[in-house]
Structure 1
Amino acid sequence: MTGTLPIKQATPVIYPSEDGEPLAETYDHLYAILVTLEVLRQYLTGRQATVLGDQFLYYAQGFPRLRVAPDVMVIFNVEPGGRDNYKIWEEGQVPSVIFEMTSPSTRNQDMEFKKTIYEQMGVEEYWLFDPRGEWIPEQLQGYRLRNEVYEAIADNYSTVLGLRLAVEGKLIAFYRGDSGERLLMPEELRVAWQQERERADRERDRAEALAAQLRALGVDPEA
């Protein structure tokens, strides 16, 4: 009788989506992440792109320890929407732009380890934002990949996004490169939406009042 050896099943590789670490070091850093994430998400609505915040970015298949968690990353030519994590070999695209909200405690990692990893990945632009101005006096410093090496961006203009970046207090403000129009931040969007709704309500009330007056005169406003 011929025996057969049992076939060992390969152990599936697990790629965790969280590590129990806090999202950000301080409220200022957290708020800067959330606002940047939402402004860029709104800006890229309708395009084949996604914006992710504080999700693991896995860059080596089969090696789940080889990962980083960018504060905000923009990836083009992928399906829009969120992910629990991002695996480059599954999506087929490397992030085009990455933002890190930096501080003195993360300075070395941001300027050495992450900067080197992002260069090697081919991330076109890398932006460091120091909300409190603790080690970057101007608070904002960008880098653009050129000949596989990052060079400082002098004018704070993102050629990848088509946006000019500026510092407003402890946040990054974004201006369209074509029109100079400033992109609204989440609270400003809420206020603008509320004002538009109130304007529409006033227009409706005026139209209804006019229709009532016409009916009182025996005129059918629908005629």
Structure 2
Amino acid sequence: MQVTQNQPDAAIVYPVSDGEPVAETYDHLYAILVTLEVLRQHLDGQQATVLANQFLYYAQGLPKLRVAPDVMVICGVEPGGRDSYKIWEEGEVPRVVFEMTSKGTQQEDQIFKRRLYAQIGVEEYWLFDPKGEWLESPLMGYRLAGDDYVLMADSCSQALGLRLNVEGKLIGFTSLATEERLLAPAELSYELVQEQQRTERLREQLRALGVDPVE
């Protein structure tokens, strides 16, 4: 995308917030946060970052041309958070974008953002309706084909190597390579507690046999 600059980029202010709420309802906020954390854990150790509700600037020199995806995955960049994401600085377009659609965002998500993400080259665009009110199906995935998106029939993200499905008011993720389901943060915490309890029981059994377990 070619952009004409009227002044040096260093003199231009790119805001990191507009003062608007992160999400319309608790269900939408929770879906955003869980999706962020599950994908962040999935991509841990890779050259990638996952951002939520950060401004995506796609035209250098034009700070009003921005959008704030609910969740976006950018590959080929340094891991870690950003206050905002400027495509021309990082050199990579988001590969996958998720929007948790709601009453107030449904038209923008399905029309304006779909066109915009296709124009800037986002490979996959996912729409999720936690309340099941505004979409034909609560979860709809689109893959870029030319200059527009086509609806996925299999709900498989080739970009992420994951199969997606609806789990109540959340998106569920399963690895295409291992068929293992990715755990949400609360589930990971539960599994950690269970593992700690199993380890302590084993240590107690060893002590009962007169064996001093190595800590």
After superposition, the C-alpha distances for 1:139-180 in whole angstroms (9 at most, x for unaligned) are 011110011211111111111111110001111000111222
**In the alignment, what sits opposite 2:96?**
97
**In the alignment, what sits opposite 2:161?**
162
SS, match of residue 11 in structure 2: coil
Conserved? CA contact 2:73–2:96, under 8 Å: yes
SS, match of residue 211 in structure 1: coil
Q: Aligned pair in 2 of structure 1 residues 31, 211: CA closer, same or farther (>3 Å)?
A: same
Pairs within 5 Å for 1:62-141: 62-141=61-140
**In the alignment, what sits opposite 2:25?**
26
Bigger radius of gyration, 1 or 2?
Answer: 1
Distance in 2, Cα, partners of 1:60 & 1:206: 64
Q: Shift of the alpha carbon at 1:208?
A: 3.3
Distance in 2, Cα, partners of 1:196 & 1:73: 32
Q: Shift of the alpha carbon at 1:97?
A: 0.1
Distance in 1, Cα, partners of 2:157 & 2:178: 15
Q: Which amino acid aligns with 1:31?
A: Y
Q: Which amino acid aligns with 1:130?
A: D
Distance in 2, Cα, partners of 1:96 & 1:18: 23
Conserved? CA contact 2:38–2:184, under 8 Å: yes
Q: Shift of the alpha carbon at 1:102?
A: 0.1
Q: Shift of the alpha carbon at 1:50?
A: 0.5
Conserved? CA contact 2:24–2:104, under 8 Å: no
Q: Shift of the alpha carbon at 1:100?
A: 0.1
Distance in 2, Cα, partners of 1:19 & 1:211: 64
After superposition, the C-alpha distances for 1:28-49 in whole angstroms (9 at most, x for unaligned) are 1000000100110111111111
**In the alignment, what sits opposite 2:57?**
58
**In the alignment, what sits opposite 1:5?**
none
Q: Shift of the alpha carbon at 1:209?
A: 3.5
Distance in 2, Cα, partners of 1:46 & 1:11: 32
Distance in 2, Cα, partners of 1:131 & 1:67: 25
After superposition, the C-alpha distances for 1:177-220 in whole angstroms (9 at most, x for unaligned) are 122211111110000011111112222333334336x9xxxxxx
Q: TM-score, normalised to structure 2's length?
A: 0.91
SS, match of residue 155 in structure 1: coil
Q: Which amino acid aligns with 1:75?
A: I
Question: Unaligned 5+ residue runs, structure 2?
Answer: 1-7
Distance in 1, Cα, partners of 2:26 & 2:142: 25
Q: Aligned pair in 2 of structure 1 residues 210, 42: CA closer, same or farther (>3 Å)?
A: same
**In the alignment, what sits opposite 2:5?**
none
**In the alignment, what sits opposite 1:3?**
none
Distance in 1, Cα, partners of 2:78 & 2:28: 28
Q: Aligned pair in 2 of structure 1 residues 199, 144: CA closer, same or farther (>3 Å)?
A: same
Q: Shift of the alpha carbon at 1:10?
A: 8.6
Distance in 2, Cα, partners of 1:205 & 1:75: 47
Distance in 2, Cα, partners of 1:23 & 1:169: 21
Q: Shift of the alpha carbon at 1:136?
A: 1.3
Q: Which amino acid aligns with 2:94?
A: P
1:187 lines up with 2:186 in the alignment: yes
SS, match of residue 209 in structure 2: helix
Conserved? CA contact 2:9–2:61, under 8 Å: no
